[in-house]
Amino acid sequence: MKFTGFGALVMGLGLLGVRVDALATGRFADIQIIDRDNGSVLPMYRSHGEYWVAGRPGARYSIMIQNRRGERVLAVTAVDGINVISGETGAWGQSGYVFSPGESYEITGWRKSNAEIAAFNFTAAGNSYAERTGRPANVGVIGVALFLERPVRVPRFEPFDRRSEESGNAERFQGGAADSVARAAPSPGEAASSASKLEEVKPSTPSNMANMAPAPKLGTGHGARETSYAQTTTFDRLSSTPNEIIKIRYDSFENLVAMGVVPSRPWQSAPNPFPDSASPKYVPDPPGG
């Protein structure tokens, strides 16, 4: 995986709520939250216009991101309001991971160097990295800000036309200047499209449902060191603001039930005191009754 101090990381080599999918799906990327201790993909729930997952206290987890585009994408990722690469309080202009077309990668922890991370793990909010560094205000949320890359400009070669130059240098210069001005000015349609993109990236209003949780909420801890390789690269962002933001909130299952984000656990049959005992057997009927 690659990254840059001002742009990106390239992934290390070794790559009443309603349940929706295991994916938070955007236009540019799909995101999964994975319980690394049992290998399961946490189901996503949709409630009050937000994605939610139920974390298992003590479990290590990862953020799986897959680029849906046919071009490189930068994913600036924050957990509990903290950039996962730099440790700064999260902001769009910070370092992120760069994904090649169609590439997927698991972000498994807080990056400590180009060869090591400190694992993400679900823990009591009071023991979270955010709380321990004096930044508890945004515990319980994972955010991915996605940026498209500015296309590389390729110079266009035009053969010299002597006859055209002799027939009217002045006219050709004036026409060229006017054409340049016209191409530089955005059309009304382009301006409207740009405005709509800015509206799309406005973060949604946070819900105060966490106040209804019966137990201390979950946060993300600064876990054991693990090997995870990355290298720096460059990434020229198409825009200074994200082209898309995907946000996932999390807490314990019990707290999400109490907040009405997910339904309670499904009813289970009564326990059997003799589960290994076979049912009584009798002579079966012949074929046809």
Rounded Cα gap, residues 231 and 14, in angstroms: 13
**% of the chain surpassing 90 pLDDT:** 57
Rounded Cα gap, residues 70 and 27, in angstroms: 12
For 160-174, give one letter per residue: b (16+ CB within 10 A) or e.
eeeeeeeeeeeeeee
Rounded Cα gap, residues 250 and 53, in angstroms: 5
According to the model, what pLDDT value does residue 60 have? 98
Q: Is residue 190 part of a domain?
A: no
Q: Is residue 254 part of a domain?
A: yes
According to the model, what pLDDT value does residue 26 have? 85
Domain count, the chain: 1
Which range (75-79, 199-203, 257-261) has the least confidence? 199-203
Band of residue 12 on the pLDDT scale cut at 50, 70, 90:
very low
Report the SS3 class of residue 169.
helix
The mean pLDDT value for 38-51 works out to 92
Q: Is residue 202 part of a domain?
A: yes
Query: 45, 255 in Cβ contact below 8 A?
Result: no
Query: 59, 36 in Cβ contact below 8 A?
Result: yes
The mean pLDDT value for 1-16 works out to 47
Quick check: 206 pLDDT over 50?
A: no
17 versus 184: the higher-pLDDT residue is 17
Q: Is residue 11 part of a domain?
A: yes
Q: Is residue 111 part of a domain?
A: yes
Query: 55, 45 in Cβ contact below 8 A?
Result: no
What letter would DSSP give residue 22? S
Query: 9, 95 in Cβ contact below 8 A?
Result: yes
Q: Is residue 168 part of a domain?
A: no
pTM to 2 decimal places: 0.69
Report the SS3 class of residue 79.
strand
What letter would DSSP give residue 208? -
Q: Is residue 61 part of a domain?
A: yes
**What is the C-alpha R_g of the chain?**
27
Give the amino acid at 188: P
Q: Is residue 222 part of a domain?
A: yes
Quick check: 176 pLDDT over 90?
A: no
| Residue 95 domain boundaries | 2-151+197-258
Query: 71, 150 in Cβ contact below 8 A?
Result: no
